[in-house]
Structure 1
Amino acid sequence: MNIRTIIMTTLLFCLCITGAKQALASVTNEVKSMVDEVVRIVSDKEMKKPQNEQKRRNALKKAISTIFDYGEMTQRSMGKHWKERSPAEKKELVQLFETLLENSYAGKIESYNQEKIVYLKENVESEYADVRSKVITAKRDEFSLDYRLMSKGGRWMVYDVVIEGVSLVSNYRTQFNNIIQRQGYGELVKKLRVKSEEIKAP
């Protein structure tokens, strides 16, 4: 192997390593960018006022939707029942589930009170990635808040959120399956509609 080949091989190896690090860093950066915006919203004194509740929720919805893949989350939460639904039913499910998920996530993060968010680790395997973080309260209590992402259209999108080891998607999948098995699909939609209206109510 001549000197030129050695140099080119070394450069290629270094570029591969650098590229991998940049790709890895971008996953956490995608999550951090969204979380920073959410924290900014919930920390805003004006936004905290009762009369601005709807404005705050709309701002949170906008921030969260930049990285949450509601279609993927709905499909995974429906599990084996997803393929049985018509295109119109799937569209309504995604809309209803979007409201439910936004409320679940926003409800957790709205209690933020200057806690420290620490990003611990990220794992990337092909088109899938995990970003692990923890929230440390003023009383030094901690809880884990992890994100599962997949690459879509050149971007990393969240398809699940794991809070204290409990997957939101897995939790909903169990609930949805139980309702469908015992009461039918129609009852599930009815419950989701009622819940959606409760969430939207001022």
Structure 2
Amino acid sequence: MKKLILILLILVFTISGAFAVVSPKEQIKKTVDKVISILKDPKYKGKNKTQQRRLALRTEIGKVFDFEEMSKRSLGVYWKDRTPQEKKEFIELYKDLLERSYIDKIESYTDEEVIYTDEKVENSKYAEVKTKIITKDKKEIPIDYRLYFAGKEWKVYDIVIEGVSLVSNYRSQFNKIIRNHSYQELVKRMKTKQTEELMREK
């Protein structure tokens, strides 16, 4: 009898866990809603609040973006040649770069309308959530999120802003620098860019 009860409990928790997984669209909506609430929050308004605002945005973005997966895809064939330490360093630099690219695009939006136009799921492993930001002057800015299922939740591995894939765009830039110069030169330029951006925010 005890064994039967144990089996039933395991089944209940397993089924409950399966239904607890949110859809790709719900995952993105939850993050976007939180990002918009931060942008609207008076305590984050103004140039003197840039660092606090961006820290709050980075925290939310980091919950759903898989920066390691994005790093692999952006370095492409050059990823496998990196040492564990190089991979760790690159992920941090690339994370900073991606967050700034995304935040720069959405930071000016506060009262705009976000429409979720489509959700496509492929083999229960990959998905794309299409959204549009409708500006006050009725301009439509498409932002699509590409996700994969990471076992318990959906994670973003690429963002397509106005038809341009951030991962593909950076991969093209990175590969060109590595081919023409070296991987070390790429890292040097990323660090320089990071320093310049930090100085600009102050």
Contact 2:35/2:60, CA 8 A, preserved across alignment:
yes
In the alignment, which residue of structure 1 is the partner of 2:162? 164
Say whether residues 1:67 and 2:64 are aligned partners.
yes
Contact 1:74/1:94, CA 8 A, preserved across alignment:
yes
2:25, 2:128 → 1: CA distance?
Answer: 9
Please give the residue correspondences for 1:94-133 in structure 2 after superposition, counting only pairs within 5 Å.
Answer: 94-126=91-123, 127-133=125-131
Question: 1:6-50 deviations in whole A, cap 9, x for unaligned?
Answer: xxxxxxxxxxxxx99x97x62101001000111111112221122
Say whether residues 1:86 and 2:83 are aligned partners.
yes
- Whichever residue aligns with residue 187 of structure 1, its letter is E
2:110, 2:153 → 1: CA distance?
Answer: 30
RMSD (CA atoms): 1.6
Structure 1 position 164, deviation (Å)? 1.1
Q: Percent identity?
A: 47
Structure 1 position 155, deviation (Å)? 0.8
2:132, 2:84 → 1: CA distance?
Answer: 38
Report the count of equivalent residues: 182
In the alignment, which residue of structure 1 is the partner of 2:181? 183
Contact 2:36/2:110, CA 8 A, preserved across alignment:
no
Structure 1 position 153, deviation (Å)? 2.9
Contact 1:99/1:199, CA 8 A, preserved across alignment:
no
2:47, 2:117 → 1: CA distance?
Answer: 34
Taking structure 2 as the reference length, what is the TM-score of the superposition? Answer: 0.86
Contact 1:136/1:143, CA 8 A, preserved across alignment:
yes
In the alignment, which residue of structure 2 is the partner of 1:32? 29
Taking structure 1 as the reference length, what is the TM-score of the superposition? Answer: 0.86
In the alignment, which residue of structure 2 is the partner of 1:12? none
Name the SS for the 2:79 alignment partner. Answer: helix
What 5-or-longer segments of structure 2 have no aligned partner?
Answer: 1-17
In the alignment, which residue of structure 1 is the partner of 2:52? 55
